Amino acid sequence: MCSECFVTAAMKSRIAAHGAAFRKATASPFGSDDEIGMLNLVDAASRQAIMDRADPTKIYDLSVDNFVGMPGWFGAEDQPYQIWMTHTPEGEKIDDIMRVGKEANDLVSYSGDSISMYTHTGTHIDALNHFGYDGKIFNGFSAKEHLGSRAWRKSGADKHPPIVARGIMLDVAALLGVDVLPPSYGIGEADLRGCLKHQRVELRPGDVVLIRTGRMRLWPDRATYLPDPPGLNREGAEFLAKAGAIIIGADNHCLEQAPSADPENWQVVHTYLLAEAGVPILEIANLEDLAEDKVHEFAFFGACIRFRGATGSPMRPIAMPLR
């Protein structure tokens, strides 16, 4: 399948990766105030086109549930997921926090809770301010000018619009005939082209591209799911970004191959996609049901929580097969 065939000269000028310089924060082709990068390719016409083909009789939930002890990226000592009760029916009768009396508390059986977690926990999207180069993020926004005491003032998760787009799932594990790709396997251009050909799907500008490594089969065992994940390498990331992908995701916890094959850059794919190519990243996507049903092309729906300035945010993406 010829992904390059869909990248016309006019479209090429709208794909940030084609104007990128190595290890530099790229100026957005969508203007000096742009904060969402390649998500700008989604418009009313593209949404209508995929909605016209979506089959709502079947829905695939691409998320995982959050729970105490779940796997996640906590290598930098960030807060793992925690949940605790702040109100319980029996506790309210004792404390009477609302000062309504025992009978009223008996009647309503009030329960409430709070959570604490790193914003990159569970199924989530990475915003463009998550990684950059030399103090600058995509479109040249600098930490010196735009990072406040509490959060970035540019390119946070709150700027992400709800996404309705064509999605494709590239099942690299199935292509190579394995349940799970080997540890630290680097997914390159040849693997991705092989999937496109084997699955008989086309990669087009405006697509959400999800990569299956098979790691979700190990979920939620932290001892096997987390270490040395197979994932995308820079070559593969460049291929997808230059084809016009608007989001690139995977079923592992970090999208990319780890440890990094670049001795100078421990997050070579993150820095490339976010800072050079302007492509947000989706991680910990559950692609097993899509793989079982061999659904490789679908309507993708995803909206993250609008945490102002956040570098990442939980998402519950869904997919619908196409008619």
What is the pLDDT, as a whole number, of residue 5? 72
Contact (Cβ atoms closer than 8 angstroms) between residue 191 and residue 237: no
Q: How far apart are CA 6 and CA 29, in angstroms?
A: 18
Task: Quickly list DSSP for 153-171.
Answer: SSS-GGGPPPEEEEEEEEE
Q: Omega before 259 cis (within 30°)?
A: yes
Tokens of 258: 């780890």
CA 114 to chain centre: 24
Q: Does the domain at residues 4-66+119-321 carry the CATH identifier 3.50.30.50?
A: yes
What residue spans of 243-296 are helical by DSSP H? Answer: 268-271, 288-292
101 φ/ψ sector (left φ>0, alpha ψ -120 to 50, else beta)? left
Q: What is the pLDDT of residue 1?
A: 55
For residue 24, the number of C-alpha atoms closer than 13 Å in the C-beta half-sphere is: 10
- Per DSSP bridges, beta strands 208-212 and 163-171 are parallel
Can you give the pLDDT at residue 44?
99
Residue ranges of the chain that CATH labels 3.50.30.50: 4-66+119-321
Peptide bond into 314 cis (omega under 30): no
DSSP secondary structure code for residue 5 in this structure: G
Half-sphere exposure (Cβ direction) of 199: Cα atoms closer than 13 Å: 27
Which helix (H) or strand (E) segment holds residue 47: the answer is helix 44-51
pLDDT at 3: 64
Single-letter residue type at 146: H
131 Cβ contact partners less than 8 Å away, ≥ 6 residues apart:
137, 267, 270, 271, 274, 275
Contact 195, 232 (CB under 8 A): no
Q: Which residues of 268-287 are buried (b: 16+ CB within 10 A; e: fewer)?
A: bbbbbbbbbbbbbbbbbbbb
SS3 248: strand
Spell out the per-residue pLDDT of the chain, length 323, in tens.
566 679 999 999 999 999 999 999 999 999 999 999 999 999 999 999 999 999 999 999 999 999 999 999 988 899 999 999 999 999 999 999 999 999 999 999 999 999 999 999 999 999 999 999 999 999 999 999 999 999 999 999 999 999 999 999 999 999 999 999 999 999 999 999 999 999 999 999 999 999 999 999 999 999 999 999 999 999 999 999 999 999 999 999 999 999 999 999 999 999 999 999 999 999 999 999 999 999 999 999 999 999 999 999 999 999 999 99
**50 in helix, strand or coil?**
helix
- pLDDT for 74 equals 87
CA distance 303 to 298: 16
